[in-house]
Amino acid sequence: MEVVWFKRDLRIRDHAPLAGAAAAGPVLALFLHEPEIVLAPDFSAAHGAFIRECLDSLHAALQDRGAALVEMTGSAPDLLEQIWQQQPFATLWSHQETGNWASYQRDKLVATWCSKRGVRWRQTPQNGVIRGQEARAKRDWLAELDTYASSEPVKAPRNIVPSGLHPMLVASVAPLQAAGHDKPGRVRGGRAEAIRLLTEFIRTKIIRYPHAISSPISAEHGCSRLSPFLAHGVITMREIVLAMNRRVDSPELAVDRYQRERLINALRFFADRLRWRAGYFQNMESMPRLEFDNIHPGMNGLREAEFNPSHFACWRDGETGYPMVDAAMKMLQHTGWINMRMRGMVLSFALNELWLHWREPALFLAREFVDYEPAIHYNQMQIHAGTAGASSMLAYNPVKQAQELDPAGVFVRRWLPALRAVPDAYLVAPWSMPLTVQAACGVLIGTDYPAPLVDHLDAGRRARARVADAHIAAGIRLRAVRGGAGQKMAGASQDALF
């Protein structure tokens, strides 16, 4: 019997462990609901619900090929031992995981269990990560990433011989109650939805993508929305790259050079983001404590002692008095997604204007983001906090963001109904409304909508100065970047998508 352990790779295509196991013999396809993962402070009911839909879709895909997905609840080494007692097996197949600390610790225990039982654990690399790569040059890694990303996805096995082990003998799915509630406006999980989003994005939305990503209004429908599917491995980078290359090669573009050039530029812009993603995975692989510790130890002690719980609660609940920040938090509560600019802006407000240490906001946002991906998430936290050392500090002015990205107040009025009647001229800074205007529009600041928690100009300036001083003291050269600037990964190919 070949045991295939599905983790954050809920698919059958481009799944080398499944393909390898199916070729080697009868397969037990396994998913584990682990208390160490599900009850951790970065997991939420919305993740659980999204994963549930993906598991149902995976189960159906396996059934089509003759197998089934066996789900068990408990700690991984205990459950593997339970299976082994039923039927000893020689090989455990899975992907390598570059996840959170809990998954890293769990993998170490599983490795110990495997060596105790003489089980060979075959782990296939994924997400462009090269294990043990730390000492190698970034340029080499990028070249290898591009080779990996443009290689053909592994075909799904046509038939899978199920293991003789009856699922009922081992299946023990007792539900684990994750924190929070599901989100009414979240994207639905499953492979069919991932393929639908990818197809629609590459066929039609991609052309406008570079201009759509910043404003929360255009980004909602202009971004790919593939992040939760990538995070749970329902679809892979290689599959996306294949779809991108096919689009470039489509016959209708052969005759229209202008359109082809526009498309290629948009695809390159998108490809850069997939490269950033892979880069953050590689960072996490070499710094597994990224979710707890400042990347640069010289930044230790900068914010820790000044955590203000009531400021945190106002930020979390979308009650800071800054409409753009509050509207983004309300959208997040409802949908489990906001675009990158809004993520940066709400985080920057927490870390700078409210001077909160990054750890609590990071955990809160991890539970809120249905696409929570530890590698991207914690790298972003530290870049925004200015604790990443050589990298930049990102800071956003919430009033300017509102003026530039939501000048007519469409986004703010949608997510903050209390402000609907506020005249356009005051919507970005409602506290500046004269009392007569407040009375006329029926919105009293401090009663119907909060007064600003802090003076953002003062607080933002002070925060930037404190970070800059800490950088100087730690010998870090700060490249101050105002919000909105892009990230560049040096060495990314200029003449090919991948």
Q: Which residues bind ligand FAD (CB under 6 A)?
A: 213, 223-227, 230-231, 273-274, 276-277, 280, 339-340, 343-344, 347, 369, 371-373, 376-377, 380, 384
Secondary structure (3-state) at 29: strand
Both ends of the chain: CA-CA distance in Å? 38
| Residue closer to ligand FAD, measured from CB, 29 or 223 | 223
Identify the DSSP state of 286.
Answer: H
| Residue closer to ligand FAD, measured from CB, 90 or 496 | 496
CB of 385 to ligand FAD, least distance (A): 10
Secondary structure (3-state) at 123: strand
CB of 493 to ligand FAD, least distance (A): 17
Instruction: Kindly state the tokens that stand for 467.
Output: 């970070």
Q: Which residues contact 87 (CB under 8 A, 6 or more apart)?
A: 1, 163, 164, 165
| Residue closer to ligand FAD, measured from CB, 83 or 370 | 370
Instruction: Give dist(CA 341, CA 414) in Å, integer.
Output: 18
Cβ atoms of 130 and 317 within 8 Å: the answer is no
| Residue closer to ligand FAD, measured from CB, 223 or 443 | 223
CB of 344 to ligand FAD, least distance (A): 4
CB of 87 to ligand FAD, least distance (A): 38
CB of 102 to ligand FAD, least distance (A): 16
Instruction: Give dist(CA 390, CA 479) in Å, integer.
Output: 8
CB of 133 to ligand FAD, least distance (A): 18
* 2 φ/ψ angles, rounded to the nearest 5 degrees: -105, 125
Instruction: Give dist(CA 290, CA 399) in Å, integer.
Output: 31
| Residue closer to ligand FAD, measured from CB, 113 or 372 | 372
| Residue closer to ligand FAD, measured from CB, 113 or 201 | 201
CB of 383 to ligand FAD, least distance (A): 8
Instruction: Give dist(CA 228, CA 336) in Å, integer.
Output: 10
CB of 193 to ligand FAD, least distance (A): 13
| Residue closer to ligand FAD, measured from CB, 44 or 438 | 44
Cβ atoms of 411 and 495 within 8 Å: the answer is no
- With CA atoms as reference, report the closest residue to 336 among 183, 177, 230: 183
Q: Which residues contact 309 (CB under 8 A, 6 or more apart)?
A: none
Query: b/e per residue, 56-82, with b = 16+ CB within 10 A?
Result: ebbbebbeebebbbbbbbbbbbebbee
Instruction: Give dist(CA 343, CA 328) in Å, integer.
Output: 8
> How many other β-carbons are positioned within 10 Å of the β-carbon of residue 491?
16
Please report, as a single letter, which amino acid is at residue 469.
D
CB of 225 to ligand FAD, least distance (A): 4
CA distances from 140 to 11, 73, 134, 146 (A): 29, 41, 11, 10
| Residue closer to ligand FAD, measured from CB, 55 or 213 | 213
CB of 157 to ligand FAD, least distance (A): 27
| Residue closer to ligand FAD, measured from CB, 119 or 264 | 264
| Residue closer to ligand FAD, measured from CB, 296 or 384 | 384
Task: Using DSSP bridges, classify how beta strands 2-6 and 91-95 pair: parallel, antiparallel or unpaired.
Answer: parallel
Task: Kindly tell me the number of DSSP H helices and DSSP E strands found in the chain.
Answer: 24, 7
